[in-house]
Structure 1
Amino acid sequence: MSVLSFEALFRSAPNAYVVLAPDLSIIDANRAYLELTGRSLEEIRGRRLHEAFAPDPRQPEAGPSLLASLDRVLQRKKPDTLPVIQYSIARHTPEGPVLEDRYWSATHTPLFDEHGEVSAILQNTSDITELVKAGHGPSASAGQPPLVQLEEGVISRALKVQDEGDQLRRLFSQTPGFVCFMRGPEHVVEMFNDAFRSLVGDRPLMGMTVRQCFPDLEGQLFIGLLDRVYESGEAYVGRRMPISLRQQGGVLEEMFVDFVYQPIVEVDGRVSGIFIQGSDVTMQQRSEAELEEYRLHLERLVERRTCELQQSEADRQVAEAALLQAQKLEAVGKLTGGVAHAFNNMLQIIGGNLQLLRRNLGTDPVAQRRLDSAVGSVERGARLASQLLAFSSRQSLQPQPLDLADLVEQMVDLLSGSLGQGIDIQLDLDRQAWPVLADKSNLESVILNLAANASDAMGGRGRLLIRVARHSSHDGQQVLLSVVDEGCGMSAEVRKQAFEPFFTTKRDGGSSGLGLSVVYGFIKQTGGSIELIPVSRGGTEVRVCFPRHPDSPAAAGGRAAPEGPAEVDMQAETGGLRILFVEDDPTLRMLTGEVMAELGHSVYLGETAEEALDQFDRESFDVLFTDIGLPGMSGLELARRVREKLPGLEIVIASGYAIDVRAEALDGVHAVLKPYDIERVRALLDGIQGRLG
């Protein structure tokens, strides 16, 4: 069965209803009202009530009485009743409009908007002309007494009203929102619908007070609000109000409701009860709460992801800066290695000529002193070239297990003498620190270099702290070497450039700018790290970390020292060897060739590895003496090619840096470090001659 709408009920109701705007213009009227007044809706809609039905001039009090009742409704916001009012109605006849005296009983009820203001007035009109005229004359109907006819009319209207009430109750019961009517100050439940029963659960309701029905509402707002609305006669609107009610099983369940408490005001202005209407919005509230929680969760995810992206970008920038720095140092290292190689060649030429001059100089002491000074300069230049090669990571190291704390302690006297009396050296040494695997001479140079830099930063006066300690990080177990000064410190820009080759803050020209860059190259080659840290009280801490050496007694991964003059038989008699000497520098090639020839050997000169291989195809030789840096094929590759063809051939490789021949798979090959002197060459060739017999 379909549910009648309120509009359909309004249209078909047997009682006469008209809806008025606050300015008393007619908004709508039902069929019973239009039939009662003899008007059409189009004729009266939009017109003011007292204009659509102009009062009879013979009854001047009728219009003001009607308007006064309507005004009371607007002012008091309460219903107002006119029990009896004489108001003539103009009937349209063929002879024209005829005024017909009628008696009415009218009830004016205010209709409120969501803000509690009167938005319209509902007028319920009953024609009581028959009741008023009952005692004033005979009836024209079938000779029945007037009162009998009146009773039949009243009974008929009562039946119609009962039928209308049945329809209202059915509509009341089936409306989707919950509704309930409570009467009196104790709020006795007299009517409710199925939706209200679903809301409050299976509990006794009818004829019971609200406190009897809902003891679990004590302490909540709802009962107090009912009392307030009943006492004040003012409606209350609640939005998303939380309510806790016990359901089946005694479980206290929280719900959320939208509702209106509407007071029922009688004719005399007294509140007789409260009409409750509302909706259960629990699911909507929970959905919105879940949506809000999901939104907050998404915001947290976005925030976390944003932080991760920002951190990733920061890490990328750091990695990019480190890569650029490494690439720059690698490029400078390659350049430095090439410069050092060329520098070694020049030193070799100068040193070789000085040695030849020494052989022919005689006993002039002044000339001998000057020659010694020149030779000393060549040796210092060779050490500088060695530093350059160490920076470029082309200097092969000879690592060994070292106790860093013992090494620092052994160097105290050397450091004190080098730094001067103005520097107070303090040690903080962890005797339990693990050994490290490093080249001893280079490690000593690192400590001297860092101590000298610290002394310069303090102007030759101050406290210098050298610390050795165990250190653990994400890179594993390490040994920390820390050098802390009390100088003026370094700016961020200086710390950024400190390891770059040839960078120096000294303005007197007394620094090559290679100190820290050489330290950096050695530490990186050893597998360690170096960091410059500003000290809060002023000064700088240079923090160097070396990986812990494995517990095995042997120096794991260490390279064998190159074969040198110490392994050569110094007493072997010189014989004539056939030597193929390969060197790309023409001056050095000619000079070394002359030295070997002067030593009594047959020397054949070559400029490239390719020429040397062709020469081996044509002739036989006792010795291949080659420089490591040749254009095209290197000296190492030349040695490998020749070794494959002539396994028993003696091979000598000259280089500006030490070569680990075993690592190069060239066991038995002799390595000589440039610049080399005549005596070293003599001893090397004599040893070869002795082995060849």
Structure 2
Amino acid sequence: MNHVVSNSHSAMELFAAPGNAVGIVIINADGSIELLDCEALTGESYTEAELAALHIRQLLPILTPARLTNILGQSKGTEISFQQTPFQLKNENSLPVDLSVRVINPGTRHHLLVTAKHTVHSSNFQHSHSSKVHYQQILKQAPFGITILTGENFVVEMANDAYLSIAHREASKFVGRPLFEGMPEVRETVEPLLQAVLKTGVPYHGVEFPVPLTRSGKTELSYFDFLYYPLREPDGTISNIIVTVTDVTENIKAKHTLSESERQFRNLFIESPIAMAIFRGPEWVIEMGNERMHKEFWRRTEAETIGKKLLTVFPELVDQEYPAVLEQVYKTGVAAGMKEALVLIKASDGMRKFYVDYHY
């Protein structure tokens, strides 16, 4: 079992420990690079122009597009590791590294956090207090919320601007204090999850996870995609948890609004006194048909019609005018209709003749 150590290093010190050189890369799902800091690992840096033109496979050939797709398809929170794989240098040489790759904010836009570790101790890879500050600056620029929690009280060691914005907290009143002093309203929901990560060392991944959060003096249920990931000391003990978070509340509200609108539309559609149907695609697959359409005109059950092609269910329509009109409407997007049009529909009770006003 992993234990918390009271004299733990800060998370930044773990990143910057001598002989434990680390490179950090945040990449998009397509392999383009959002953030890169490999100077401590390789002694190299990149300009903005170089970074914009760079794909992750140019640095780490093992991360092919197919492999990135595979990683994104793993269960949430899964960490993928690669041992002794080459990190390409500008001079065309390479450096053997151990890689850790994990999804850190799934949702509308995926990001992958890649850490590359080289354990050779040399003067080229020495770190100092300035390295610690440098890593903090890199994390502060991330486009999603990041905070690092230390010890059993989950003291906030750092929180980037995106995290502070999500939480509606000021750094001066939040950083350096236990998390639940600064955000007491989340304790009941969040503390059991953090305790489990601290004790077991198993990351926890939340997707569209509901958390009550007080913002601008008002506590509301908000929704987040997040990852709680344990950071280990050189001896394997866990002293810190890195948190990455994306606020997806507006997405969830939009989903709920859309679902409610769809529910209301469906009710109006089904209960309409006018016979109505919805066809999908160029083969006019029957997506919906209301009660009057099924009972009075089609004389069929939903099981006999929904999800089936219109002309498969009603082959007698092939020689009538309606397929040609439907095709014209589908191709041009221009509505069409007619009054007192004759239509013949066959069912178990035989062929019946209707005169209808229709509108496509």
TM-score by length of 1: 0.27
Which of the two has greater strand per residue? 2
Which of the two has greater helix per residue? 1
- Pick 1 or 2: higher relative contact order, CA cutoff 8 A, min separation 6: 2
TM-score by length of 2: 0.49
